[in-house]
Structure 1
């Protein structure tokens, strides 16, 4: 063996553990029990002459699925509890005393990424021996729940933990969440059909491709003692949809989807060449990491090609390049296989075919071997190490994937010694981040062509359609959902190929909806008329001459708004803008306790869907080109979104008991309806920053001194004060007021005062040629009150 530095990191032990419900020795092991069992197997696998457990000074544990969600949701995901410190729980079971305990983020590429990190820290001398481990016991958990049994998997610990948190929020935008692009089974089908579109294949032809890809995987799983399913399947069995292989989401039947009901654990033991020699680990057990890379993809809707991953391609090519080998020199491959598209994308990137004689999996793949949460690729690395030892000098490649093909890592391994070289993927990441993204609109209107789609299926059949498309008018990408109970859309996308289908899209109650025709869309989502209705559910409306009074009528919850209340306010202010006889509006809140305290957080906490109308919170905060004045009358509290409504108004009259705050930071939110932008422009920056960052309340008099309140009136008289101010506005030309606001809206485009002043404004031409200008001049000359015509 050629000499390498004694600091060179090496993989010396691998272990796996599993159990099935039907096994005669089934013991209902917890995830920690399985991880510990795999860890002991990894130590035994080293064939060392010394007990290695005492030398483990770091344990990296892969985050379980139960911990891969925000903390408030974990009780639902982990009904039997989970350890406070997973690495410490494993350490206690095997008798280790590590100085470092790391709990990974949540993603399927973490085993490969953390192995690279561990190697770096071993080479730097920070660590001597590292255990990587992870496990899931979802099959046991679900069986116990179904049987009504109570298990206790919780464990307390006071040991220090480097907890890297669940950290998957960035993979899904709020817009994706709103459109049911939440779980892998609703997103990967969209990626799959996008690739099918690029390949120009029919649904039947592509299904055949998926079957040919995965049939060999099932054969490998059938011969793997740790596989969750040890039944091989033919191409026909994989693609035929029946009661045992129901459609999950077009084009994915159950047989091609990662299997999460598993009881599986894996562990890897790493050290340095010097330490291995010292402890008597035979050189026949050593495996070297020759090259590795990791990078993150743009989120789904920012990718130019939904059916490919530039980050995945870059990671594979960098790992091979760092190792100094070509793909042809690789004898063993394990491509992450949560869905066919993940494998196809890797094959496209590497120039390989699905029938590559080397095979594409070492375990049997996630649909057949099993998908133990974030830990699958640790099993792949363990299997690869065994094959490399059996064939010294050979090379193997493991690819790992997380999220919706969001995160990628790859490693090239061999028993052939090599000097350690730290790999840096920052240039690759910079390249990925700089790739152009297609123009995108969150609120599309009009006709579009379907770029990709999926039909979601429940146990009783198809239920919903998700489309990603491009607007015909602008080319912008959009995502939209079918309308509930729209049988026409459901039938079309179920019985026919939806690629390039023409659909009509609109934005409704926080979600883009589509239909197959204008008549269908109007029938299912009728547009409200631009006139005031006789009554509303949560808002009272009165008109007094040219003044419209709008009162939020939910005093029992401090006038907090439901989405439906926002919709009503949008309709009301749409009607106000459209009615030439209405010149001034006043918005207030019922009762004397509060004007509005923002979103109804109690309603939101129930899990009900929340949305805002196109024109923003209260129908006002996202209405930038409004040209009619709105006065806000504030009695009591104006908190969070309520304050944002007030800031969006032109004038504020507050009673002397009023209090204002952007309180979102105190409940883990931020003022996302324009409050941050408006407050920092309406008052001095430092004062605004204090209010924003502390959420502190400002009383009425201070608010007036800061400059965002116009008038302070006695407690309980804000509405009367607003009426008095409205009357003052009515003495002026409504046409001039409207054109003044139009000019101000236009001048906001100019950064400098000088540019704004010398710009040409159409409003000036309009006012010069208006009847109100002539009436105003004549009334002044005749010493009478003008009679405004608003034209």
Structure 2
């Protein structure tokens, strides 16, 4: 057994922990900022070490801060202001001047991850002492944001900062946002409902198990002076739905989800054994890291089984393995408890139960102690350290979860001396990554079954969200059609998992109903015919020619979702009408063909979507076997340029300018520009235009092959009409067959293979009236009379 005298001097040891909290209804309420709460906790951690606080602070060479929620996502508001260097603002207040300051990525794994990382740095000899902290003042911010005497928490500290970014990769997707899966309760509810189905429990029994799981947590919180909700509640109270305990997302009531409205801070002081000895930190303050592991789960929809959390379980098991103990040997346990599944997923595999006499939390848990943003587990570490000191030689476990059961950092602590022990998380991560992912269907159409589900309860009413499986096994997200009251009732009262549904996709995403018949009833297919009037476009039919004018000149013909939908409807009608053979698209006025996406609309917060057929109803449209000509007058920017690229022929007046300008506003040319431009012009030139967002004039676009013809200013439509007349003089059947063959062979790289490709268009052509008419007219030296058949 390793003794304290045998310990390597570089061994990392926790020597001080501290916490701070205040409630807005408390007698000692001071409206502290997040920086001040963290500083208060840090001062407690320095004092807790039992040595000279000033000397300890002076020795700190690294400070690391856990992100508050208001700096965890791009554009998040900070109504009372914030520090531009949170770690150094806190360090200043405790008298530390570290060489290195870190602002960690978002996620509840952050506190334990930082402890493990900086402990490793100390063991490697790269650091002597590190102070780690985090805090939230959400309750104060919400309380005072509209106050006339609201405080200003803004700090321009500056200085070195290792800002690691938000760390949101893989946790946020446009696909999830399209289907309302934007909030943590809804995402976690999918896992809990999948677990209920796997266990074969009724809704009532499962909800009761949630109450029984969390009722002991409330008893711990009730005795914790730092708790945000120190109220003991029974299992029945936790799950009973009433005005105070409303449903949030099936199966969660408000009482069983993380409480983020808190004012809390926590800090940990970590240093080498050598530094602790030198600074006179008493050995009865020392707590060692006996085991640790960090693993990441696949992205939510990639996971083979949504009812389990293998990365969490394996991380916990590995931390225990390194410590050389089993779960039964733990004295204290704190399982991250933002939602019930974060606890029960571990209990299932570690053999823990809700009534474990040791308890599953040392703080009271996130719904009751308070989910102090990303920093909750720092409080768990602080409580664990305090308890282990009172029972020397025992072991405590802390599990820290981030994302959607995505990132897990686990650790085992004890006062028993031990040298630094390295983990094998990298090898384990490779094993987890090697498990095949589930294929996702972004656009889901046809029969399917519900894999898991939830119902979000909002002021606008309930919204059903389904994870489904198509018959081919692909997984998809969908919302439940609000009008399908039977299916919504099944989600709220029945057993939906495994239930058959019918899916249909459109530009807004996927929707499911209980049957194909219900889908037809609620969403009858649109008949593809031209209307007499449109709000955002004008159409003019001249024989076999259709002219389409984007009619938003006041916005430079930028497109909103509604304008895109109209253009999609118009092009559907064009391609369906056998009497329309050529289409021209242009823009109203003389300033702009189309300036792309309407960014003002996008910034308004209103729903944004694009039709399945793409921007302008063209950029993702397959089988364009009728010619579309772009008559570009003025600017063709961003999405407008992508519309032009999707057209078969482009005529531009000499005032026209083309650009894929998305990079200049933080976007990408995702409606085909990134694909089509490098195929239309020399790739190196395309690279430059895409990466710089630079505009090019019509003549240069013509030289590059992007434009077919350049015509005088104001005559783009006339120039397009001239080409249309030439096309209309040819056989429409031949034109259609030619486009079809070009479409079919565009992806065949070998020229001979492409030439030899057999297309059904050729068979149709051989039996067409137009082919026979063309030959007969040629022989008779007369103009052909095309029938388009």
Q: How far 1:679 moved relative to its partner? A: 0.7
Q: How far 1:641 moved relative to its partner? A: 0.4
Aligned to 1:584: 582
1:625-657 alpha-carbon deviations (Å, 9 max, x no partner): 221111111011111000111111111111111
1:384-399 to structure 2, matched below 5 A, reads: 384-399=384-399
Aligned to 1:466: 465
Structure 1 unaligned residues grouped into runs of 5+ = none
CA distance in 1, matches of 2:763, 2:501: 42
Q: How far 1:319 moved relative to its partner? A: 2.0
Q: How far 1:769 moved relative to its partner? A: 2.6
1:161 aligns with 2:161: yes
1:329-368 to structure 2, matched below 5 A, reads: 329-368=329-368
* 2:80–2:145 CA contact under 8 A, matched in 1: no
Q: Single out whichever of 415-424 and 40-49 deviates more from structure 2.
A: 415-424
Aligned to 1:231: 231
State the secondary structure of the residue aligned to 1:319.
helix
CA distance in 2, matches of 1:191, 1:149: 44
CA distance in 2, matches of 1:431, 1:744: 45
Residue in structure 2 matching 1:29, options 6, 29, 32:
32
Residue in structure 2 matching 1:53, options 50, 57, 77:
57
1:406-445 to structure 2, matched below 5 A, reads: 406-445=406-445
1:19 aligns with 2:53: no
State the secondary structure of the residue aligned to 1:723.
helix
* 1:297–1:405 CA contact under 8 A, matched in 2: yes
Indicate how the Cα distance of structure 1 residues 533 and 49 shifts in structure 2: closer, same or farther if over 3 A, else same: closer
Aligned to 1:39: 42
1:208-255 alpha-carbon deviations (Å, 9 max, x no partner): 110111111111111211111221111111121122222111100111
Indicate how the Cα distance of structure 1 residues 603 and 458 shifts in structure 2: closer, same or farther if over 3 A, else same: closer
1:334-363 alpha-carbon deviations (Å, 9 max, x no partner): 110000011111122323333333221111
State the secondary structure of the residue aligned to 1:565.
helix
State the secondary structure of the residue aligned to 1:375.
helix
Q: How far 1:312 moved relative to its partner? A: 1.3
1:129 aligns with 2:132: no
1:382-407 alpha-carbon deviations (Å, 9 max, x no partner): 11111222222222211111111121
State the secondary structure of the residue aligned to 1:369.
helix
CA distance in 2, matches of 1:549, 1:459: 44
1:687-717 alpha-carbon deviations (Å, 9 max, x no partner): 1101111111111111111112111111111
1:497-553 alpha-carbon deviations (Å, 9 max, x no partner): 333333333224413223335555445434321111111111111111111111111
CA distance in 2, matches of 1:313, 1:5: 31
Q: How far 1:778 moved relative to its partner? A: 1.9
State the secondary structure of the residue aligned to 1:170.
coil
State the secondary structure of the residue aligned to 2:454.
strand
1:641 aligns with 2:639: yes
TM-score by length of 1: 0.96
Residue in structure 1 matching 2:70, options 66, 74, 82:
66
Residue in structure 2 matching 1:759, options 757, 760, 773:
757
Q: Single out whichever of 327-336 and 112-121 deviates more from structure 2.
A: 327-336
Q: How far 1:754 moved relative to its partner? A: 2.9
Q: Single out whichever of 284-293 and 610-619 deviates more from structure 2.
A: 284-293
Q: How far 1:790 moved relative to its partner? A: 1.7
Q: How many residues align?
A: 785
Q: Single out whichever of 476-485 and 362-371 deviates more from structure 2.
A: 476-485
Aligned to 1:97: 97
1:535-592 alpha-carbon deviations (Å, 9 max, x no partner): 1111111111111111111111111001011111111111111111111111111111
Residue in structure 1 matching 2:719, options 708, 721, 734:
721
CA distance in 2, matches of 1:730, 1:145: 66
1:24-44 alpha-carbon deviations (Å, 9 max, x no partner): 222222211111111111111
Q: Single out whichever of 440-449 and 651-660 deviates more from structure 2.
A: 440-449
CA distance in 1, matches of 2:246, 2:631: 58
Q: How far 1:676 moved relative to its partner? A: 0.5
Q: How far 1:12 moved relative to its partner? A: 0.8
* 1:451–1:468 CA contact under 8 A, matched in 2: yes
CA distance in 1, matches of 2:193, 2:493: 15
Residue in structure 1 matching 2:502, options 491, 501, 504:
504
* 1:259–1:371 CA contact under 8 A, matched in 2: yes
* 2:544–2:581 CA contact under 8 A, matched in 1: yes
1:244-274 alpha-carbon deviations (Å, 9 max, x no partner): 2221111001111111111111000000011
1:69-122 alpha-carbon deviations (Å, 9 max, x no partner): 21x332xxx211111111111112112111111111111000011111111221
Residue in structure 2 matching 1:622, options 612, 620, 623:
620
Aligned to 1:631: 629
CA distance in 1, matches of 2:99, 2:580: 72
CA distance in 2, matches of 1:716, 1:524: 46
Q: How far 1:674 moved relative to its partner? A: 0.8
Q: How far 1:369 moved relative to its partner? A: 0.8
CA distance in 2, matches of 1:410, 1:788: 75
TM-score by length of 2: 0.96
Q: Single out whichever of 238-247 and 661-670 deviates more from structure 2.
A: 238-247
Q: Single out whichever of 261-270 and 168-177 deviates more from structure 2.
A: 168-177
Q: Single out whichever of 725-734 and 747-756 deviates more from structure 2.
A: 747-756
Indicate how the Cα distance of structure 1 residues 438 and 382 shifts in structure 2: closer, same or farther if over 3 A, else same: same
Calculate the aligned-residue CA RMSD, in Å: 1.8
CA distance in 2, matches of 1:550, 1:180: 34
Q: Single out whichever of 411-420 and 598-607 deviates more from structure 2.
A: 411-420
State the secondary structure of the residue aligned to 1:168.
coil
Residue in structure 2 matching 1:551, options 544, 549, 552:
549
CA distance in 1, matches of 2:490, 2:349: 33
State the secondary structure of the residue aligned to 1:313.
helix
State the secondary structure of the residue aligned to 2:457.
strand
Structure 2 unaligned residues grouped into runs of 5+ = none
Q: How far 1:492 moved relative to its partner? A: 4.0
* 1:172–1:299 CA contact under 8 A, matched in 2: no
Aligned to 1:270: 270
Q: Single out whichever of 473-482 and 11-20 deviates more from structure 2.
A: 473-482
* 2:482–2:488 CA contact under 8 A, matched in 1: no
Aligned to 1:324: 324
CA distance in 1, matches of 2:483, 2:164: 42
Q: How far 1:434 moved relative to its partner? A: 3.1
CA distance in 2, matches of 1:622, 1:241: 46
1:679-690 to structure 2, matched below 5 A, reads: 679-690=677-688
CA distance in 2, matches of 1:148, 1:105: 34
Q: Single out whichever of 356-365 and 102-111 deviates more from structure 2.
A: 356-365
1:478-500 alpha-carbon deviations (Å, 9 max, x no partner): 21123456545444433433333
* 2:537–2:563 CA contact under 8 A, matched in 1: yes
State the secondary structure of the residue aligned to 1:368.
helix
Aligned to 1:184: 184
* 2:60–2:131 CA contact under 8 A, matched in 1: yes
CA distance in 1, matches of 2:269, 2:159: 21
